[in-house]
Structure 1
Amino acid sequence: MEKLIDVVVVTYNRLPLLKECLLSLLNQRDNLSGIFVVDNHSTDGTTAYLSSINDSLVKATTLSDNIGGAAGFEYGVNQAMVEGTGRYIWIMDDDTIPNIGASSALLKTAKQLNDTFGFLCSNVRWTDGHATNIAQVSKDWPEKISFGLVGTVSATFVSILVPKENINRLGLPLGKMQIWGDDTEYTTRLSSFEASFFVSDSIAVHKTGYNLMQDSLKTIQADRIWRFKSMYRNLIYIKRHYASKRGVLKLVFENIVTGIGALAAKDHRLNRFGAAFFGTWNGFFFNPDVHFPDEVSLEKSKNEERSKKILNG
C-alpha cells in the first residue's frame, strides 16, 4: 500500500496528550510515510520520551528554544516538505486525537477530487462530543459542493490535509504570527488558491482543556490574554490581504467593541481591553515574509532523483 501522508505535529509540555496523539497516528500507519514531531523545547520529559521511540515512522526534532506554535508549524512543514516522501502533509496540534479512520477519509476525498483542492479539514469534536474548531463555511458553498462535501474558506491546525504541490506554490505557514490566527491565515491562503472542503467522515477529537468555542476575551484565563492580542493583530493582517477595505473596517469596529465589552470582566479589565486595541493597531504594521520550502534541499533531492533515473537507464 502506498503511504501518502507526512504528518506534522508541534508539541510543548503536553506529554500525556502527545503520547495519545502518536498512538492514534501509529494505528493509521498504513497511510503514513512519516510523522514529523517538532518539540518546542519541552521541559516535562517530552524530549526523553521522543528519544526513546524505536519506530522509523516517527521523526522527532527537539528545538533549542521555544519558538512558538506558529514558527513550530513553519519549521515542521518545511522539514516534512524537504525530508518526507508523501504526497500530502497532515497538520495537527499535539492535543489532536484523530479517529482510526480519519486519515483514510481524507485520502478518499482527496482521490475523489483528483487532488484539486486547497486543503481538507476534519470534523473536530471536543471531549464532550460537541463541535469545536469549526471551519468557516464558504459563502458560495452550494456552487463549490462536491461529493457531498461543504466548501470552506478557513480552518484550524487541528487536522488539515494539504497537497505538497500547494505548499510549493504558496509557501509555508507564517511563523511570525506566533500563535492564534496563523492557521486561519494559512488555510485562507490555500482556499483563495483552490476550493477547500470539510470532510465530515474524518473525525478528530481536540483534547484541549476547554472548548475554545465557549471562550472569549472577556472570560479567558488571565494568563492567556496575550494570545488574544496576537490573534487580533493576525486577523487584521488576514483581512488586509484577503478582504475588502470595508471588511477591514468592520473587523476594527468589532475588535474595539469586544475590547470595550471586556471592561466588564471580573478581572484584568485594562489588559483585556489593551489586547483588543493594541492587537488591532499592530495589525496595520504587521507584514511578515512568506517563506518557501528549503529550495536547496529540494533541489538536491531532485538532482539525486534525476541521477538515479540516469543510472537506472
Structure 2
Amino acid sequence: MLSLCNKHRPVTAVIVTFNRLAELKVTLAATLSQPFTRVVVVDNHSSDGTGEWLDSQDDDRLIVLRLNRNSGGAGGFKVALQWLQRSRYTSDEWLVLFDDDAQPASGFVETLSRRASGGKCDVLVSAVYGTDGKPIEMNRALARVPRSFIDQFRFAFNRQHYVVSDYAHISRTEAASFVGLAIRADIALANLDLLREEFFIYFDDVFFTWGLTQRGYSGCFAPDLHFVHRVNFRRGQSINPPWKAYFYTRNMFPLYRAYSPVWFLVPVMMRLANVLLVAARQTGARKAILAHSVRGFWHGLTGNFAYNPLYKNTTKNEI
C-alpha cells in the first residue's frame, strides 16, 4: 500500500470538446464548481454553437483554445499541453485531462491536492464510474501490460488479469486512459513526443502513459479520486460512426508493438476478429465498418499514419 502526505498544489483542468455542447455544459459546470486554478477548454472546430456559448461564460479561470480543424482527442490534448508549455507553467502544477463527456466528482481537487504531495507518484489515475455508479471497464487502468506471448494471448481474451482490480487501496499502474488522468505538468510537457496527434482517437492515452512507465515515471491508481464518465458503452456494440473502426484497428499496431515488439500481432489479429464480428452483426453500416477496418489494418501494418478518413488525400502535417 502507498501513502501520500498533505500539501496543496495548483491544479489545472484540460478538457477537449467537439460538437457536444450539451455534454460540455454539464462538464464545465461541474469543473468550474471546484477550485481548479485554471480550466483550459480545447474547442476542436465545433460547429454546434460551442464557440458562442464559451464566449458567453464569465469565469476568469476559463481559457479557450480554438482549432481550425478537428484534430481528435489526441491532437486536442497535445495542443493544450503545447499551449501550457509556452505559458511556462511551473513544476508544482498538476494537470487533469478529460473529455467533454466526463466530469470530476465533488471534492476531486481537494483530494488530488492531498494525493499529489509526497513525490511518490508522477501520474495519478482516477477511479472512473458510469452514471449507474459502476466502474467503466474501458477506463480501468492497467496494473501491468502484456509482454510475453502468453500475456498477449490472454490479454486479447480477458483484460481482467491485467487491469487494476483493487478499488480500496492505492496501487501501481503501467498504463491508463485520459479520463481523469492527473499528471505533474513538468513531466507531461517534457514528454510530449509520446502524445502522438496522428492517433486522432483510440489508444493515444494508453500509448502515452505506457511510454512514461518505460521512461521510469511512476503511475498510481488512486481509488479516492472519482470521475464520472457519461457513456453507455458495451463491448461488442456497434461502431458508430463507422470511420472510428479505422483508428481503432490501425492504432492497435503501435500500441501493442510498444507492449511487445515480438508478439504484438497476436492481440492485433484477435481484436481485428472482434471488430469484424461486430461489423457482421450490423445492418446499415456493415460494409463501411469492414472497409475502414481493412484499411486501418493495412495502414497499421505498413506504418502509414498520414491518412485520416475524415480528411482524405491529406498529409500528416495537415491532420
Q: 1:15 to 1:256 in 2, by over 3 A?
A: closer
2:31 and 2:104 in contact (8 A); partners too: yes
Q: 1:228 to 1:55 in 2, by over 3 A?
A: same
- State, as a whole percentage, how many aligned pairs show the same letter: 26
Q: 1:260 to 1:16 in 2, by over 3 A?
A: closer
Unaligned runs of 5+ residues in structure 1 are 290-313
For residues 100-111 of structure 1, the aligned pairs below 5 Å read 100-111=106-117
User: 1:233: Cα distance to partner?
Assistant: 1.2
User: 1:271: Cα distance to partner?
Assistant: 3.4
Q: 1:84 to 1:100 in 2, by over 3 A?
A: farther
For residues 225-236 of structure 1, the aligned pairs below 5 Å read 225-236=242-253
Alignment of 1:47 onto 2:51: yes
1:126 and 1:207 in contact (8 A); partners too: yes
Alignment of 1:14 onto 2:36: no
- The one of 63, 68, 71 equivalent to 1:64 is 68
User: 1:25: Cα distance to partner?
Assistant: 1.7
Unaligned runs of 5+ residues in structure 2 are 1-6, 147-161, 307-319
1:198 — aligned with what? 221
1:250 — aligned with what? 266
Extract structure 1 runs of 4+ deviating beyond 4 A: none
User: 1:139: Cα distance to partner?
Assistant: 6.3
The number of aligned residues is: 274
Alignment partner of 1:41: what SS?
coil
Alignment partner of 2:183: what SS?
strand
Q: Give, as a single letter, the amino acid of the residue that structure 1 aligns with 2:250.
A: R
Looking at secondary structure, tell me which structure has more helix per residue: 1
Structure 1 vs Structure 2 CA RMSD:
2.6
User: 1:287: Cα distance to partner?
Assistant: 7.0
1:311 — aligned with what? none
2:169 and 2:223 in contact (8 A); partners too: no
Cα offsets for 1:101-133 (capped at 9, x unmatched)? 222222322214x1x434211111111112112
Alignment of 1:176 onto 2:180: no
- The one of 162, 165, 175 equivalent to 2:183 is 162
State the alpha-carbon separation in 1 of the partners of residues 124 and 259 from structure 2: 19
TM-score by length of 2: 0.77
- The one of 119, 125, 145 equivalent to 2:129 is 125
State the alpha-carbon separation in 2 of the partners of residues 84 and 35 from structure 1: 16
1:11 and 1:38 in contact (8 A); partners too: yes
User: 1:220: Cα distance to partner?
Assistant: 1.3
1:271 — aligned with what? 288
For residues 22-101 of structure 1, the aligned pairs below 5 Å read 22-29=28-35, 32-83=36-87, 85=89, 87-101=93-107
Cα offsets for 1:276-313 (capped at 9, x unmatched)? 43323222333769xxxxxxxxxxxxxxxxxxxxxxxx
Q: 1:256 to 1:62 in 2, by over 3 A?
A: closer
- The one of 5, 14, 23 equivalent to 2:11 is 5
- Deviation larger for 131-140 or 167-176: 131-140
Alignment partner of 1:245: what SS?
coil
TM-score by length of 1: 0.78
Alignment partner of 1:202: what SS?
strand
Cα offsets for 1:33-90 (capped at 9, x unmatched)? 2111111121222111111222210011222222222211110121123226461211
For residues 184-223 of structure 1, the aligned pairs below 5 Å read 184-193=206-215, 194-208=217-231, 210-211=232-233, 214-216=234-236, 219-221=237-239, 223=240
Q: Give, as a single letter, the amino acid of the residue that structure 1 aligns with 2:213.
A: S
